């Protein structure tokens, strides 16, 4: 059975508070609209992650809560990982390689540019950019998350809010 990884970039964040720490930024009105919409689309696609791992930034937490609500994923089961906040591609790959092999389907909610670099590295496809609230589904024909590496993924689909209008 293949492993599925869903890389979700947080929804659009609010930059209106001068001097606010990056980690504390919330979602703006567009983000508050897009996060549940993308969650509903994921639900319609049959996405049922066994584990959701999220950056501890406020905007990613908010995105996770809206998406998980639509997926009927137990929000108390969300895992917040400091390693994902503004992580490099190499750090994100390390997190994936360390996943429990009992989880066939995992969602990672984080930030660019790390998510885009990771998706491009794993799929060997030029994606350009995962926009806010964008999600890419990568499938791996491997026996363990430890085997996930460059070129080992197939892009099953890639969606983002502007596609849903």
Q: Judging by beta carbons within 10 Å of its beta carbon (0-12, 13-18, 19+), is residue 137 exposed, middle or buried?
A: buried
Please, are residues 139 and 4 in contact by the beta-carbon 8 Å criterion? yes
Residue 105 three-state SS: strand
Q: Where are the alpha helices (DSSP H) in 11-83?
A: 29-44, 58-71
Give the global pTM: 0.96
pLDDT in tens, the chain (165 residues): 799 999 999 999 999 999 999 999 999 999 999 999 999 999 999 999 999 999 999 999 999 999 999 999 999 999 999 999 999 999 999 999 999 999 999 999 999 999 999 999 999 999 999 999 999 999 999 999 999 999 999 999 999 999 986
**How far is Cα 78 from Cα 61, in angstroms, rounded to an integer?**
9
CB neighbourhood size of 70 (10 A): 18
Domain ranges of the chain: 3-164
Name the CATH code of domain 3-164 (choices 3.30.930.10, 3.40.50.1240, 3.40.50.720, 3.40.1050.10): 3.40.50.1240
């Amino acid at each position: 059975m293949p492993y599925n990884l869903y890389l979700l970039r947080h929804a659009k964040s609010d930059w209106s508070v001068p001097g606010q720490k990056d980690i504390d930024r919330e979602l703006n009105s567009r983000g508050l609209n897009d996060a549940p919409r993308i969650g509903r689309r994921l639900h319609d696609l049959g996405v049922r992650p066994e584990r959701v791992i999220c950056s501890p930034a406020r905007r990613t937490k908010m995105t996770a809560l809206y998406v998980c609500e639509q997926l009927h994923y137990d929000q108390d089961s969300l895992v917040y990982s400091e390693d994902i906040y503004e992580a490099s591609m190499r750090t994100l790959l390390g997190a994936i390689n360390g996943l429990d092999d009992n989880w066939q389907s995992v969602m990672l909610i984080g930030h660019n540019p790390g998510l885009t670099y990771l998706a491009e590295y794993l799929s060997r496809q030029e994606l350009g950019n995962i926009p806010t609230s964008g999600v890419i589904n990568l499938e791996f024909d491997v026996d363990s998350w430890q085997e996930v590496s460059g070129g080992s993924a197939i892009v099953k689909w890639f969606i983002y809010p502007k596609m849903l209008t």
